[in-house]
Amino acid sequence: MGHNGVVTPLTSLRLRLNAALMLRVAGPDPVGIQRRIHATPGPRWFAPDSPIGIVHGDASMYVGGIRALLLQSLHPLAMAAIAQHSRYREDVWGRLARTATYIATTTYATIEDAEQAIAVVHAVHTRIHGTAPDGRPYRADDPQLLTWVHLAEIDSFLTAHQVLGRRPLSPTDADTYVDQTASVARRLGAADVPTTATGLRAALDRYQPELSGSPEAREVAEFLVHHPPVPPLATPGYALLARAAVASLPARARTMLGLPAQVTARPALLAGRVGTELIRWISTPPPLAPHDGGPSVDGGPNHHEPLTADSALDPQEQR
């Protein structure tokens, strides 16, 4: 904003981009969601400046979210549930908004609202069941399946944050983050959930024999990486985020998804940094007049404040 409160063309562009972004990640009423989550009085599970609040409020969540979807698709039963019971191609933004709101609610909202959000998701899960293409039955409320989805999410969010986050976590805080997210996962029905970063990696390794690059999983990868449902103006920015997400996957996961097994780490890291800084710029409110107030934000998809480690990308270090 320029002198005397005049909105400059650059600020106007930023506000328009911010409104478009919030519409997609928070739904049609981002202001209402922000107020309900952050302004409703009452006790909360986590402090905003705790590790879970830091990670889930950072712009690196956009990279982590893409990575999580790619990684989750490698479990045939999880992929079957997605393919048979969701309209992820037609309703990708609605699904993103619901997921982002759930994560924001269980991270920042009152305990009452967080418990209600978990109950709603649990009720939906009890109705989702079927048979995978390989003939195996599945249920969305299966504790082992819920655990896989949780592991893929938290590993992805933490991996992206440690490389691209504004405030990377110390080893102790990384353990706290895994422990905090585990408490939410257990309430949803996940079993044997790890509570440390080392335990997280070990738990992921135990799932390796169950993973495969099914045709459905490869379709998801093709859709997310090469044909994303984003407006033309947003395509270059999304490509930066997707490139970093793909590069941060284990090489074996990329191979199963039909993505390049070998990546050049530094260009991918640079792409991710440019993409997340762009998100932060879009999400930062314009300068306020001296009598106004308001917190700053880091631009994460779950941080609805006023509207608004190179080794993780090194193929030699990937499991």
Half-sphere exposure of 93 (CA within 13 A, CB side): 13
CA 46 to chain centre: 18
pLDDT at 6: 63
pLDDT for res 287: 53
* Residues above pLDDT 90, as percent of the chain: 66
Q: At which residue do the structure tokens 């107030």 appear?
A: 293
| Beta-ladder partners of 58 | 298, 299
Tabulate helix, strand, coil % of the chain (nearest 5). 65, 5, 30
136-192 pLDDT tens trace: 999 999 999 999 999 999 999 999 999 999 999 999 999 999 999 999 999 999 999
Domain that includes residue 48, residue range:
3-317
Residue 316, C-beta contacts closer than 8 angstroms, at least 6 positions apart: none
Q: Which residue has the higher pLDDT, 77 or 319?
A: 77
Number of domains in the chain: 1
How is residue 111 written in tokens?
Answer: 């305990």
Smallest CA-to-CA distance from 61 within 259, 248, 301 is with: 301
HEC string of 12-33 equals: HHHHHHHHHHHHHHHCCCHHHH
pTM, two decimal places? 0.86
Q: What are phi and psi of 224, to 5 degrees?
A: -70, -35
Q: Is the pLDDT of residue 43 over 90?
A: yes
> Burial level of 180, CB count in 10 A (0-12/13-18/19+)?
buried
pLDDT in tens, 111-152: 999 999 999 999 999 999 999 999 999 999 999 999 999 999
